[in-house]
Structure 1
Amino acid sequence: MKNKALAIKDEMTSLRRHFHQFPEMGYREFKTSARVREELEKLGLSCTGIARTGLVADLKKGEGPTVLVRADMDALPVQEETDLPFASQVPGCMHACGHDVHTAVLLGVVKLLRDEEFSGTFRFFFQPSEEGNYDDPDGFSGARRACAEGLLQGVDAALGLHQLSVVPTGKIVLTPKAAFAATDLFEIVVHGKAAHGGAMPEKGIDAILVASELVQTLNTVVARNISPQQTAVISIGTIEGGDAPNIVADTVRITGNIRALDEGVHKRIHELIEQRCAGVAAAHGAKIDFTVTLDIPVTYNDERMTALAQEAARKVAGADAVIADMPSMGGEDFAFIAQRVPSAFAFLGTHKPGTEAIPMHNAKMVVDEDALPIGAAYLSQAALDILRALAQK
C-alpha cells in the first residue's frame, strides 16, 4: 500500500496546496466541497450532501460490513504568516489545523481503495465545521450534525486521522481508550445592580466584584475536587464588564473552556461550576447564568479497532512507527462518531526533522508534505484490515 500511495503523492500534494490556498470556515466550505465532489466524480463515485456543506460517498463491492473513513474540511480565523508560495489567499482565514491535509489524504484513500479487492462498503465522509458550531441552529458541529442526519446508518466501524505538526513525519499515534479530551466552551453572565460607585455603592450589587470572586473559586474546582490521577483543565479566557470608573457594574460576561480525559470527570466539572455559580450568586444577592456554548465529549478509541489500526500502521510505516500512548487535551468532534460505532482515531506526524516544530492553530504552522502518502497508505490499510476482520465475525 505504501508504494501505491507514493505513486499518487504529487496528486495529493497538488490538492492539498489548492485547499490550503482557498480555505473556508465552518459551514461555509462551498468551494472546497465543490472541488471534492469534482474529484470524487472523476473516480466514478456519486456524492450525497450532508450537514449543510459536507459530502458522503460510498464505494461498494459486494456484500459485507461498512467502514466509515472521515476527513474534516474547515479552516480557522487565522491570518497566515508562513510565506509559503501557496499560502492562503483569503484574508484572515488559514488551514492552521491541517484540515487541507486531511481532505487531500482522504481523496488519496478513495483512489487507493477503488483498486483493491474487498467485499463490503467504504463510506467516505468529508466533514464541515469540525472547529465549532458557528451558526448551526442547534449548536451542532459538523460531525454531530451529520450523525443526526443519518451518517452512521449501517456503519460498523469508523476511522479518523489528524495531522500533528509537532510529531515527526513517519510516526502515527494510536492511543487506546481516550484519544482526545472532552472540550467545552462556556459563557457565564453575572447580573448585578448598577449604582453610583463613589456616593452610594451600597445601593448596588457589584458584578465585577462577584465575577472576580467567581473566577477565583473556579480555579479551585480542578485542584480541590478532581483527583490528581485524573486529567482536567478549566481556563478563563475573557472577562468583560463595566461602563464607567464611577459606576458599580451591573453586568459582567466571562468566557472560558473545560477539558477532561474522562466523561465522568467532564460531567462532574459541569456540576461543580453550576454549584459555584449558585453559591457566589447567593452570597452577593446576584444572579449568575452558566451556559455551555460548545460541548464535545471525550473521543474514545475502541480497543479492538485500535489494535487493528496499529497493526496496519506498522505494515505501512514500519515496526517502530506507532506511538501507542499519547492522549491529547485537544478536542475533536469525531467523538460523536466514536460514541456510536467502534472507532480508531490516529495522529499523523507531519514535522520535518531539522525544522522548527510549530503547533497547530498557529499562523506560522507548516506541515511536511512527505507525510501525505504515509497518511493515505495507513488509512487505506487500516480500512481494509478492519473491513476484513469484521467480515470474519
Structure 2
Amino acid sequence: MVATTLVSDELDQYMVQQFKQFHRHPELCDKEEWTTAKIADELHKMAVPILDFPIHSGLVAQIGPGSGPTIALRADIDALPLQEETDLSYKSAIPGAAHACGHDFHIAALLGAAKLLKDQEAHLTGNIRFIFEPGEERHVGAREMIHAGILKDVVAISGIHNMPTIPVGTVGMKIGKLVASNDNFDVTITGVGSHAAMPQTGRDPIVAVANTIMTLQTIVSRNISPSDRLVLTVGAIHGGHTNNVIPESAGFKGTIRTFSDADRKLAKQRFYEIVNATAVAFGQTATITWDQGPAPVNNSKTITNLIANQARQFMNVVDAIPSNADDDFAEYEQLVPGCYAFMGSKGQANLHHPDFIANPEGLKYAAKFHEQAALALLTHFNQQDKEK
C-alpha cells in the first residue's frame, strides 16, 4: 500500500529548492568545490557532524549514538561535461557542464533523508553515514573514498540512481547484477604519412583504424555467447586534418560493458589481439591505453529484500531491468553488502542527454526510501547482534 503523506510540505519544498540550486551549479569530476561547500553548509544547519577524512572533494557525515551498527547511504555529486539544452528557469549557469545524469537529484534527496533521520537521532539504535561522493562519472570517486577509509565500521550500504524511464512513485529493484562493468579504451595506430594521391609511399592509419573497428565487433558476434550481454562501442574517431594528406597516425576510443567476469576478461584479451594483429597486418604499430572501471553492481539478496519490503509500504516496487550503464557503487559492494535501486524520475529524455530533466516530484520518494532503508537495516543488524 502506498502512503499518501511521505514527507512534510516544508521538507519537500526544501529538497526542490536544493535540487534547483545544485542544478544551476554543476561541477565536473574532482572540481566539486562549490558543491561540497554547499552540502557542508546544509549539514551544518542541520547539526549533522561532518567526519574528517583525507578527501579532496565530496564529504562524509554521520549521525547516531556512536555505538551499534553503521549503515551508509550514498549519493554521487559530480556533473557531466556537456552543454545543457533545456528551457528550465534553473538551467545550468556553467558553460559546458550539466547535471544531465541527475546527481543534483541524488544530493537533494540525501540531504532530505539527513533531515528526516536527524529528527529521529535520539531513537536510533546505530549510526547512519551519509556519503556524498565526487568523481563518479569518471569512476574514481568511490575508490578515492574507500582508500580514505570511509567504509570503516560500515556493515551495509544503500544507494539510488534516478531513472527517467520509470514513473515517479515507483522504484526498480533487483537482487544480483543490476548495472554492467565498465572498461574504457583509447587506441592510437601509427603508420607513415604521405600524399593522399600516392598512398603506396605511406602506411595509411585511417584504413587500419577502419578495419580494426569493424573487426572488433566480432568480439560480440563471434566470441560472446548470444545469451550473454556485452556491448562494445567506439564513441570517438580521430585522424587527419585535410582531404589530400594521409596522416602519420589515427585512433579511436570507446567502452566495453558486460555482466560476466569471464566475458570481461575474454573481451579484453580479444581486443588486444585484434588491435595489435590488425596493425601488424597493415605494417603499422598500435598503442592501447586501457582504463579498467568498476565491476558490475551486484546487490545483496538479504539487503535488497529488506529494503524492498520496507519500500512497498509507501511506493510501488517493480523488478528492475538490468542496464548496460555502470556505477562505481559497485566498488562499495565489493567490500560490504549493499542495495542499489532505480528511483523513478520520469522525464522527457534519458540519462546523459543535453535535454535531460530529473523530475523533482520524485525527491520525496527518494528521501523516504533512504530513510526507511537505513532504519530497516539498523533493525536487521541489531537483531543479528542479539542473536549472536
User: TM bucket by the smaller chain?
Assistant: over 0.9
Q: 2:63 aligned with 1:59, yes or no?
A: yes
Matches within 5 A, 1:129-148: 129-132=135-138, 141-148=140-147
- Counterpart of 1:15 in structure 2 is 18
- Counterpart of 1:137 in structure 2 is none
Q: CA deviation at 1:3?
A: 3.7
Q: CA deviation at 1:264?
A: 2.4
Matches within 5 A, 1:157-168: 157-168=156-167
CA deviations on 1:105-128 (whole Å, 9 max, x unpaired) are 101111111223222111111111
Contact 1:51–1:128 (CA under 8 A) maintained in structure 2: no
- Counterpart of 2:262 in structure 1 is 264
Q: CA deviation at 1:387?
A: 1.7
Match of 1:311 among 309, 312, 317: 309
Q: Give distance in 2, aligned partners of 1:254 and 1:388.
A: 51
Q: Give distance in 2, aligned partners of 1:65 and 1:96.
A: 35
Matches within 5 A, 1:366-385: 366-385=357-376
Contact 1:50–1:56 (CA under 8 A) maintained in structure 2: no
Q: CA deviation at 1:25?
A: 1.4
Contact 2:298–2:333 (CA under 8 A) maintained in structure 1: yes
Match of 1:104 among 101, 108, 114: 108
Q: 2:39 aligned with 1:36, yes or no?
A: yes
CA deviations on 1:137-185 (whole Å, 9 max, x unpaired) are xxxx111111111111111111111111121001101111111111222
Contact 1:2–1:373 (CA under 8 A) maintained in structure 2: no
Return the letter of the residue paired with 1:292.
Answer: W
TM-score, normalised by the number of residues in structure 2? 0.92
Which stretch shifts more, 158-167 or 39-48? Answer: 39-48
Query: Superposition RMSD on alpha carbons, in Å?
Result: 1.9
TM-score, normalised by the number of residues in structure 1? 0.91
| Structure 2: gaps spanning 5 or more residues | none
- Counterpart of 1:223 in structure 2 is 221
**Compared with structure 1, are the counterparts of its residues 81 and 241 closer, same or farther at alpha carbon in structure 2 (3 Å cutoff)?**
closer
Q: In percent, how many aligned pairs have the same letter?
A: 33
Helix, strand or coil at the partner of 2:142: helix
**Compared with structure 1, are the counterparts of its residues 235 and 66 closer, same or farther at alpha carbon in structure 2 (3 Å cutoff)?**
same
Q: 2:82 aligned with 1:78, yes or no?
A: yes
Contact 1:80–1:363 (CA under 8 A) maintained in structure 2: yes
Q: Give distance in 2, aligned partners of 1:89 and 1:249.
A: 39
CA deviations on 1:223-264 (whole Å, 9 max, x unpaired) are 111111111111111221234545443211111111112232
Return the letter of the residue paired with 2:342.
Answer: F
CA deviations on 1:317-357 (whole Å, 9 max, x unpaired) are 1xxx1122311111111111111110100111011xxxx63
Match of 1:124 among 108, 126, 130: 130
Return the letter of the residue paired with 2:109.
Answer: V
Q: Give distance in 2, aligned partners of 1:31 and 1:83.
A: 24
Matches within 5 A, 1:219-258: 219-258=217-256
Match of 2:328 among 333, 337, 362: 333
Q: CA deviation at 1:377?
A: 0.6
- Counterpart of 2:99 in structure 1 is 95
Contact 2:23–2:99 (CA under 8 A) maintained in structure 1: yes
Helix, strand or coil at the partner of 1:182: coil
Contact 2:53–2:148 (CA under 8 A) maintained in structure 1: no
Helix, strand or coil at the partner of 1:5: coil
Return the letter of the residue paired with 1:283.
Answer: A
Match of 1:360 among 351, 354, 365: 351
**Compared with structure 1, are the counterparts of its residues 82 and 206 closer, same or farther at alpha carbon in structure 2 (3 Å cutoff)?**
closer
Q: Give distance in 2, aligned partners of 1:231 and 1:51.
A: 35
Contact 2:53–2:150 (CA under 8 A) maintained in structure 1: no
Q: CA deviation at 1:308?
A: 1.0
**Compared with structure 1, are the counterparts of its residues 119 and 163 closer, same or farther at alpha carbon in structure 2 (3 Å cutoff)?**
same
Match of 2:317 among 313, 322, 327: 322
Q: CA deviation at 1:79?
A: 2.2
**Compared with structure 1, are the counterparts of its residues 243 and 101 closer, same or farther at alpha carbon in structure 2 (3 Å cutoff)?**
closer
- Counterpart of 2:342 in structure 1 is 347
Return the letter of the residue paired with 1:192.
Answer: G
Number of aligned residue pairs: give it. Answer: 378
Q: Give distance in 1, aligned partners of 2:196 and 2:118.
A: 71
Contact 1:2–1:377 (CA under 8 A) maintained in structure 2: no
Q: Give distance in 2, aligned partners of 1:265 and 1:51.
A: 34
Q: CA deviation at 1:273?
A: 0.2
Q: Give distance in 2, aligned partners of 1:151 and 1:53.
A: 13
Q: CA deviation at 1:289?
A: 1.6
- Counterpart of 1:138 in structure 2 is none
Contact 2:49–2:63 (CA under 8 A) maintained in structure 1: no
Contact 1:5–1:108 (CA under 8 A) maintained in structure 2: no
Return the letter of the residue paired with 2:186.
Answer: E
